[in-house]
Amino acid sequence: MSKFITQQALPGPAWLHFLALGALLHVGVQWLFPPPKPLLGPPSTARLQMLYDSYAQMTGELPGSAQLEAFIDRELRDELLFKKAIESKLHLSDSAVSQRLIRNMVFLFPDEEATAQERIERGLALNMHLTDEVIRRRLVQMMGELLVAAAQPPVPTESELRDLFNDTRDAYWAPATISFQHVFVGEDSADAARLLLKRAQAEQLAPQEALRQGRPFLGGTRFNQVTYRDLEGKFGREFANDLRVLVHTDNIGWLGVVASVFGDHVIFLEGQTSERSLDFEEIVDDLRWQVIQERKGKALDEAVARLFDQFEVLRS
């Protein structure tokens, strides 16, 4: 009777029934009990400690819990990209990796006679491509670039760039600049600098003539269309602020004495430009680069998120 019912539901020979039921059973087991995902992580404590120490050294403060989580995210992301790069055998076709392996082998075995290819093969056999930090960074970069290239993020159109510019145009300004020469007097006395200024103004000395009365200055004596922020980095904030106050629209020529962290400087103004808003044509290339980078970053984030789904991620 059961054989009759089976043949009614599944016509055909009995071996076909067993095959079909076996396939159904296999699919059911796979669905109910999927194979475990491969593990990713936990991140290396030594690498996390390096990030921790670097952050503390650069900022002068210890990283908080949010920053520590960001370190873990970064290490897991790099490990994922590195693992995928190795699986894709990118280390076997990149010239930078090959040169790094050769250099490592020459350093470890300086007296060994071997061809470049032999050194590469021996380096691979010693798993140098898995432990060398420079190779790791190179492969992480390459894998990221491949994922972005595969995603093909669209290049922004001019219409999109104009819309972005119109929405954010208040953010695009050309800073004020100044062109000047200076005679470095140093820290002898403020009187010496003022006397030189009076003489230069009275005799209408050219800057090159006045320079003979000053001291050598390693940073240069002529600055062309520099911003005040640039001057802060070269001479100090007080110098930049005092020079900004001293400068007037039509005051071309010998201006006055300005003190820096190095000493006193007698200033000869050659020209200046005021701060102004930028036109679209002046900023379009920067806008295009900005949008392209944002889209590449988004494409990489989405690709990495899909790859993370293939792993069971251990954060600690």
d(CA 293, CA 46): 31
Helix axis angle, 158-168 to 280-308, nearest 10°: 100
Neighbour tally for 257: CB within 10 Å? 21
pLDDT reading at 128 higher than 80? yes
d(CA 284, CA 162): 8
What angle (nearest 5°) sits at the alpha carbon of residue 277, between those of residues 273 and 278?
100
pLDDT on residue 1:
47
Q: Is 240 helix (H, G, I), strand (E, B) or coil?
A: helix
pLDDT on residue 28:
59
pLDDT reading at 31 higher than 90? no
Q: Quote helix, strand, coil % in the chain, to nearest 5.
A: 60, 15, 25
Share of the chain above pLDDT 70, in %: 88
Torsional sign, CA 301, 302, 307, 308:
positive
Per-residue confidence at 165, pLDDT binned at 50, 70, 90?
very high
Q: Which two tokens stand for residue 101?
A: 């392996």
pTM over 0.75: no
pLDDT on residue 258:
95
Max Cα distance, the chain (Å): 127
pLDDT reading at 152 higher than 80? yes
pLDDT on residue 97:
97
Q: Which two tokens stand for residue 123?
A: 């380096």
Per-residue confidence at 20, pLDDT binned at 50, 70, 90?
low
Q: Is 40 helix (H, G, I), strand (E, B) or coil?
A: strand
pLDDT reading at 227 higher than 70? yes
Per-residue confidence at 251, pLDDT binned at 50, 70, 90?
confident
Q: Is 264 helix (H, G, I), strand (E, B) or coil?
A: strand
Q: Within 38-172, where are the H helices?
A: 45-59, 65-87, 95-108, 116-125, 128-131, 133-151, 158-168
pLDDT on residue 191:
86
Residue ranges per structural domain of the chain: 2-32, 173-277
pLDDT reading at 119 higher than 70? yes
Tens-digit pLDDT profile for residues 168-180: 999 999 999 999 9
Q: What is the CATH number of domain 173-277?
A: 3.10.50.40
DSSP 177-215: EEEEEEEEEESS-HHHHHHHHHHHHHHT--HHHHHTTSB
Average pLDDT over residues 17-39: 67
Beta bridge partner(s), residue 269:
180, 253
Tens-digit pLDDT profile for residues 51-107: 999 999 999 999 999 999 999 999 999 999 999 999 999 999 999 999 999 999 999
Please provide residue 135's backbone torsions phi and psi, each rounded to the nearest 5 degrees: -65, -40
pLDDT on residue 32:
63
Average pLDDT, the chain: 90
pLDDT on residue 22:
66
pLDDT on residue 2:
45
pLDDT reading at 39 higher than 70? yes
Average pLDDT over residues 42-58: 92
Q: Is 127 helix (H, G, I), strand (E, B) or coil?
A: coil
